[in-house]
Amino acid sequence: MKKIIIACIVSFIAFSCSGKKKGNMVVKGEIKGLKKGTLYLQKMVDTVLVTSDSIQLFGDNKFELSDDVNSPVMYYLTFKSGDNDPKKLMFFGEKGEITINDNIEQFGFKPTITGSENQKVMDDFNEINQQFKMKRLDFIAKDIEARAKKDSSAIDSLEKAYKKLVRRRFLYTTNFAVSNGDSEAAPYIALSELFDANMYLLDTINNSLSSDVKKSNYGKRLQKFIDDIKKSENETQKK
């Protein structure tokens, strides 16, 4: 009798593990060099990072995780091993199968991600945006050097050049988002890269979004962001 009960328990556990329901987004791939640790599929809900799925890996480089996606949003693939700080990579999650390949030594720096149309848009944007970031770092280094030498002429020149760089980045980002108004990546880029831009640029992007994108998670958030700013500006003018 005891053997029968044990067999039933084992069978139930095996059925539960094999019968794990997959979401409408499946994230799979391989992380070279991974020996032991846990991979988490995570996303932001309001302001809290929540785990949608996880898997423990012991010497197996391959993984598969899933979640139900109602609207394309940014996800985090987080690797945690022992007491080490977790490593993260970001990707645009959407319905379908997404493949992520990376290596554990440089986890998150240059992953290969396929299967997400929104991620393709983000990859194109990040390629140019990274150049702006590098130029910004170059300006900071030169500014520190000029201030150390108390070179007021160089400081003024750098400030003017930096303002032009910021304006170029804003215009590039706006044009890119407008050109991809049928992608949920467009309102995300506006929210993450142009939160401090003038209202004209934000309105320009918002007006370029397709009807489906306007109904998406980030489309609604961009509209609310714009509405809140306009409301705040109107209240300030009334005072």
In whole angstroms, what is the distance from residue 30 CA to residue 27 CA? 10
- In the numeric block, the tokens 């328990």 are attached to 9
pTM of the complete model: 0.86
Cβ contact 185:211 at 8 Å: no
In whole angstroms, what is the distance from residue 232 CA to residue 216 CA? 24
Q: How confident is the model at residue 15 (pLDDT cuts 50, 70, 90)?
A: very low
What domains, with CATH codes, occur in the chain? 23-113 (2.60.40.1120), 119-238 (no CATH)
Q: How confident is the model at residue 19 (pLDDT cuts 50, 70, 90)?
A: low
The β-bridge relationship of strands 25-32 and 96-103 is parallel
Closest to 205 in 3D by CA, of 195, 218, 190, 221: 190
Cβ contact 183:213 at 8 Å: yes
Closest to 66 in 3D by CA, of 18, 20, 25, 125: 25
Cβ contact 120:144 at 8 Å: no
Check residue 20 and give its pLDDT: 63
In whole angstroms, what is the distance from residue 61 CA to residue 102 CA? 10
Check residue 234 and give its pLDDT: 83
CB atoms within 10 A of CB 144: 10
Query: What are the residues facing 43 on neighbouring strands?
Result: 50, 75
DSSP class per residue in 109-135: TS-EEES-HHHHHHHHHHHHHHHHHHH
pLDDT tens digits, residue range 153-167?
999 999 999 999 999
Cβ contact 117:102 at 8 Å: no
Please check the confidence at residue 194 and state whether its pLDDT lies above 90: yes
